[in-house]
Structure 1
């Protein structure tokens, strides 16, 4: 068995070209051909609109063979128009570089999967032993787009990717190793069994790769791909830490799984002479196509659309690629995005992928501040223990110590060059948080101006437990309410002072998990009748391996290098689910991708480690639009009792019900008619319920006891009734499939659902086992 993991990064400028200039187009062909005929067929199509053989051959960037029959080519708008009119061509559309943007020592133990042989569930053998730690499954990686990734590559020298005592991969593995050609030549191993990189689309849009920034190889130069890959399948490394913080044994969830790398995103300088990432859909599609051809088992994509407007499925390369992967029984786990806490921001919302939100774990990093008036403020940071005596220092507010001419609206943000050294030197500076990308730069500005410490005040939207940074000087980050207290103190006295304690303490605190503020929320912007996200997993301050090709912060002016780093985002959450899927795939090799998704979803928990309901970072009750089914539980997911299965044809049927066409996806499929919420999905969402809705579902018995009875329990939203027919499922054999119908009615007390959703759940129970499905229902 094999598996693949993937990431994407970048929000790219729209390229505007004249009508006679060549652009990259994606072309889909209706007819199916054998693999050895496909490239010749694509060449013949291009030859029909080009002047000669040479021009036709040079124009083609990629032929897509395994995901769908199609190709990417440079065409003028006129050539694209002519090609679209040829019989046999299903669709022709321009590659749009603006659509995509870039989205451990404790987390696995926290979710009940320790790597020390202890069984977290009494009388149940550890899933790691059952699955041999994912041995011989291949996991592939990609890179992120604002909270989206499709291969940043990997740092193969990391101890997390050691192949010690690992046998060679199966001879049936189809991957290749593109090593690169320079000093940083990439090498594969019995752990990293495949590595490819994709530059054709990038270089058509941007020109030749800037090799002072990037490596023309699958090597990771920003850290993200290395971090996520080790979260899924890193070998156990003892005494791992970030500059002494979060120390312990770092390990991936499936530590003996093998890795395949598909790098499609590349560092480029932007207009501000800093760095961003660029990735293009023709390269993305080529990577997914190769992953399918290589026969991977799990594909993890922390990537999403940069646009707030959903694309048609046939023009969304992640949607199409994932659907074709699922057709080939590859599990696809995707990051939900980092656009929270705003509603209707979730990415990767199609029902054939597992959409993963981010939550916290029960570990924190504290550095306290004591004001001279005796008020103590507990801050949080990932900054190591720089030398600073625990003595009172003058405390200044950034807005009061800026150079003349700085915009007053930005004065408190400690922007580069904004602070006056004569007012800052030797003092502790209070700054207000900027963007996630600028926080390290804020500390650098304080240090440049001669400050000895930084107190960074978070925004109200972030809650009390935000993303922590590894600053270049003693620093701590405080909540929005606490920073207001500090600023009020500064303004209340002529000589404000404070102690910023030297040490950062690693502690295990009480309540976890909480859904993070940055994690994108539902409802589903593409189809509100599919509940997204599906699940939540640890994504806040996760320690994992890091690339030595970049600094600890990723900032070009930061010269600190580390081998392990703390990172936050739904891109950190998705690999946890990919690892869980890898283990389930090893345990149940005959299960479909939908069955594995169902097992992960219906066994999740909505209860935190204190026995209360999971909340967000502000203490508000978390609902399914924040966390899907809840926090994943990998041990329970290995034995779910029942599964909600679905096939490739079911997904095509679903697309038909949306009013879409399957012509460009699968020309041989003919659309039937049926209500769209009848897709056999493990959760339930209905927008615009009027009167009564009837929903059909089917479940497969996958337990170990043949004769098993399940009883129906409903906990619907206020003003809604949910009845099941039948309300008892009696299974006579393992593998048996039984259907049931849910009748959902709006009754007295449901009027509030005209303005928003109500949340609840239904479940099938047998003894101590509950197969739980969340629901979200509105009347409008």
Structure 2
């Protein structure tokens, strides 16, 4: 059983960011993981942020009935609220950026701190919070690895679940990201029928993008930058298109991963990962919502930012347009915010209310614990893992030691001969700080010391591709990029601007030991090659953000893991493969790593589930994906982390996704909009919808009917309640099996469930009790997370749920 140490609570949002939220009197005390949030939960206003300049604020008013006729009424109400603090019609109109009215009730406007504070004190206002640029993107073979060959063909080549592939053509997936490169072959509409009649969206024209840029594949495209421009005083169109066209590549990559057409004969630069590229739902329709834009500065091509007000407007429009699934490879770069003050969480809540599945990336801040983002239970939060493909690059040191690196660099050293080898720390210019002397930062290397040599650099500060550019600038022949110890054996690859190979932490140590022991160290870089059926696989990516959920530790996050390491997908021809100004190469497909890449894999699985079960709720689809996941690798052993340790629920949530199993889960855990509102009441005392008051004593957060179980602060015993719905065929009988966490007894009652018909619901209880602390088998020290599971089975289906407990 996995054991995890208890972690300190998060820092709260910077003072002045949370101007108001409705709190519930008598709310259940929050867990000890959140002391700072608890201290602030009774405050309606916090200290103003430094500076007097007006800012973009989101004023959230809850939900509405979804009646089209109400939209004009809501907009009038938003205008009236602004008028009450602005004092004139002209000022109110000028300040309003967005009126959210399709699925939620709220608006974004330019306000002073005082104006936002005054609005936050209104009884109808749930919260008022600053819209910030603290959000950013979480940056072929993978579908075969997940069991999909040529769409939905079975292992014997026969049709599997007949007509499901065609049914997915009626499913619409919305992608919030940096836009799309519509000319890519991955977005061809050849063979697709008419756009679904229920579609209400638009194809918004702009720079280098017209209505004809959409087709029967890309059926809608919009862009949002009012909050971005309010913050940065405009857009530099040298580095971005004022349109849905993708300037960056990230949005094109994620869109093609979820729903790109099958395109034969593609590869990354240098011929790596050659084969047919396909999204997981190649016949699904795409709706693109561009919300991420370049950060002004010396390298605007490198970093994107996404403002909450723009994202919330896109999510509101997307649900109003008629999307079925939202794929959001974006997350916060700062401390977590309570749900009422989190733009993605608010948008996802109201999307879920309309049956839209929202899949979000969990972040790339691992393996450090408590780093996972997108923490609300009504969204799918996705971690990243590897597939069974590698890009081998043999290295032979001068002492005869052979090392296997990884590369997708198209350049090769000429001559297949030894080249001098130098450690970056021994080749820096005077004045380079000692703590970063080995990292090949810009302008750090001395040309006299690296010219014509293979330079060994270590990962750490700066971008990996920038290190290669620095070696090239200084005249180096090639780069060997070594992992830091925390990254272990996991090696993300890049298309460097010169010959280059990445190596594990252990191999980097071997290379440096050789350099230190030799007066004339050399190395040969042999030609590289693509290798499949690599074992073990999958392995959890070290960069994938880990739990626990610091905002609400009674909800396990991440929920699921999926392929996110070295994924090939379509790319924007406006962006070089490294995104560096000094890189002038143009590519149509590129290899990327991150939870941004794993998120669309899960989004595609949700598309297929929508096609197979159009009447299922978003919670049912999320449940099916989670309860059918596996905690084993392809060889039958436990999922491992990139550093060689055994992974657990804090790493992968429920496990690694298995889309084919998810289509027939047997049982599902369902939850409604009202269930989520009551959960929020208990979690943070937040009344997320003024029309649904919080009870005086809500049920604890762990009582939400969720597919996983997490109990924070177990002292004595607790009983968790769950309800499952039979979604199989005919009668069914299920029996439970329990793998109790170390030091915790678990009793499920009843142990057998009998269903007379599909759609029938059955409730059960899970009693957990902490054993006495101390030494010996079956005992656990206080202040540790321990993990186990329970699973219902009818002999065909296995409906598994992880259990994570922190013993107080």
TM-score calculated relative to the size of structure 2: 0.90
Shift in CA distance, 163/631, structure 1 to aligned 2, threshold 3 Å: same
Matching residue within 784, 789, 794 for 1:756: 784
Q: Which residue of 1 aligns with 2:22?
A: none
1:27 maps to 59
1:571 aligned onto 2:596: yes
Matched, 1:114 2:138: no
Residue deviations 1:723-768, cap 9 Å, x none? 1211110111111101111111223555424132111110111113
CA RMSD across the alignment? 2.3
* Residues 506-549 of structure 1: CA deviation (Å, up to 9, x unaligned): 34312100001000111111111111111110000011101101
Whole-angstrom distance in 1 between the partners of 2:796 and 2:583:
53
Q: Does 1:339 align with 2:380?
A: no
- One of 726, 747, 757 as aligned partner of 1:733: 757
Q: 1:89: Cα distance to partner?
A: 3.7
Instruction: Give the C-alpha shift of residue 93 in structure 1.
Output: 2.4
Query: Does 2:278 match 1:278?
Result: no
Which residue of structure 1 lines up, in the alignment, with residue 724 of structure 2? 699
In structure 2, how many angstroms separate the alpha carbons of the residues matched to 1:453 and 1:13?
47
2:123 matches 1:100:
no
CA gap 1:273/1:233 in 2 versus in 1, 3 angstroms: closer
- Does the alignment pair 1:306 with 2:340? no
CA 1:469/1:284 → structure 2, altered by over 3 Å: closer, same or farther? same
Q: Secondary structure at the match of 1:194?
A: strand
Distance 1:85 1:556 in 2: 48
In structure 2, the CA distance between the partners of 1:547 and 1:30, relative to structure 1 (3 Å rule), is closer
What's the CA shift string for 1:702-726, capped at 9, x where partnerless?
Answer: 112x221101110111222211211
Give, in angstroms, the shift of residue 366 of structure 1. 0.8
Q: Does 1:65 align with 2:90?
A: no
1:434–1:65 CA distance, 2 compared to 1 (3 A): same
CA 1:676–1:259 in structure 2 vs 1: closer, same or farther (change >3 Å)?
same
Partner of 2:38: none
Count of aligned positions: 755
> Secondary structure of 1:373's partner?
coil
**Helix, strand or coil at the partner of 2:561:** strand
Instruction: Kindly state the Cα deviation for residue 382 of structure 1 after the two structures are TM-superposed.
Output: 1.5
- 1:145 corresponds to: none
Q: Which runs of 5+ in 1 are unaligned?
A: 1-10, 143-150
Partners of 1:111 and 1:92 lie apart in 2 by 41
Are positions 1:44 and 2:72 aligned together? no
Q: Which residue of 2 aligns with 1:146?
A: none
CA contact (8 A) 1:763 1:772 kept: yes
Please report how far the alpha carbon of residue 124 of structure 1 lies from its aligned counterpart in structure 2 after TM superposition. Answer: 9.1
**Distance apart, 1:67 and its partner CA:** 2.9
Report how far residue 47 of structure 1 moved.
2.2
Q: Which of 164, 172, 181 pairs up with 1:130?
A: 164
Deviations 1:1-47 (A, max 9, x none): xxxxxxxxxx9999998776432222234795811222222222222
Q: Please say if residues 737 and 790 of structure 2, whose CA atoms lie closer than 8 Å, have aligned partners that are also in contact.
A: yes
Q: Tell whether 2:469 aligns with 1:433.
A: no
Alpha-carbon shift at residue 414 of structure 1 (Å): 1.4
CA distance in 2, matches of 1:428, 1:271: 28
User: 1:561-589: per-residue Cα shift (whole Å, max 9, x none)?
Assistant: 11011110011001000000000001000
Provide the C-alpha distance between the structure 2 equivalents of 1:450 and 1:13, rounded to a whole number of angstroms.
48
Residue 483 of structure 2 is matched in structure 1 by: 458
Q: Which position in structure 1 is the counterpart of 2:613?
A: 588
Alpha carbons of 1:551 and 1:133: their partners in 2 closer, same or farther (altered >3 Å)?
farther
Residues 654-683 of structure 1 show CA distances to partners (whole Å, capped at 9, x for unaligned) of 111124221x53433443622321111111
- Tell me the distance in 2 between the aligned counterparts of 1:454 and 1:132: 47
Structure 2 gap segments, 5+ residues each? 1-12, 18-47
Contact 1:753 1:777 in 2 (8 A): no
Is 2:586 aligned against 1:561? Answer: yes
Task: Choose the corresponding residue for 1:714, options 734, 738, 749.
Answer: 738
Query: Do residues 368 (structure 1) and 404 (structure 2) align?
Result: no
- List aligned pairs for 1:508-527, cutoff 5 A: 508-527=533-552
Asked if 1:251 is matched to 2:278, the reply is: yes
Contact 2:413 2:477 (C-alpha < 8 Å) held by counterparts: no
SS for the counterpart of 2:144 is helix
Shift of 1:186: 7.3
How far the C-alpha of 1:257 sits from its partner, in A, is: 0.3
Compare 26-35 and 169-178 and name the one that shifted more.
26-35
1:709 touches 1:729 (CA, 8 Å); kept in 2?
yes
Cα deviation for residue 597 of structure 1 reads 0.6
Distance 2:201 2:111 in 1: 30
Comparing 768-777 with 15-24, greater Cα deviation is found at: 15-24
Taking a change above 3 Å as real, the CA distance of residues 124 and 755 of structure 1, as seen in their structure-2 partners, is: farther
